[in-house]
Structures are given as C-alpha cells and as structure tokens.
Amino acid sequence: MGKDTHGNTTHIIGYGTLTAVWGVLLLLTALTVWAARHATGFGHVWGSLAIASVKGGLVIAFFMHMRYEGRLLRWLLFVALVTLALFIGLTFFDVLYR
C-alpha cells in the first residue's frame, strides 16, 4: 500500500517489476493464441476469457498501481466490477431462460 505524504502516493514501482509483468503478459498472449489454435469449440471461449482476465488483472494491479492503492480505490473498483458482473449475469439469465 502506498505511503501518503501531503496527499501524494509516493509508492514507486521499479523498472524490473514492470518489465517482468510485461514479460508475463507477452507469455500469456502467446499462450492464448496457441490455445486458440489447438483447442477449438465453444468451451474454448471460457479459456480465452480466463487468460484475458489474468492479463487484465496484471495490468490493473501493476501498470495501474492498484496493488499499492488505498482502500477507497480498491473498493471502488471492486464495486464497479461486481455491478458489471451482475448486469452481465442478469442479462444472461434473461437470454438463456427466456
């Protein structure tokens, strides 16, 4: 969590950490392309989305500094994502059981 001095979040993420995250993102991209080529079909959608979610999580946590932010921003993001998930979930409930 970032140290707060005079309202400024002073946490600094090192170049090494950022580069490592970039490397993992590239690996996951290669993995998802490989998986798309070798595992076709409808179930594959979920695999692709799972990999995309991990990549998105890494971008938010490190590139967007969320891992080091305070409670307010974390909760805000959490509530927004849950709301989005509810919207999508309820819509699918309607679409699938109509």
Contact residues for another protein (CB under 8 A)?
Answer: 4, 7-10, 12-15, 18-19, 21-22, 25-26, 29, 32-33, 35-37, 40, 42, 44-45, 48-49, 51-52, 55-56, 59-60, 62-65, 72-73, 76-77, 80-81, 84, 87-88, 91-92, 95-96
| Dist. CA 41–CA 96, nearest whole Å | 19
Shortest distance in whole angstroms from residue 28 CB to another protein = 9
Strand, coil or helix: 37: helix
What angle (nearest 5°) sits at the alpha carbon of residue 20, between those of residues 32 and 1? 110
Shortest distance in whole angstroms from residue 31 CB to another protein = 11
Shortest distance in whole angstroms from residue 14 CB to another protein = 7
| Dist. CA 5–CA 3, nearest whole Å | 6
Cα 69 to its chain centre, rounded Å, is 15
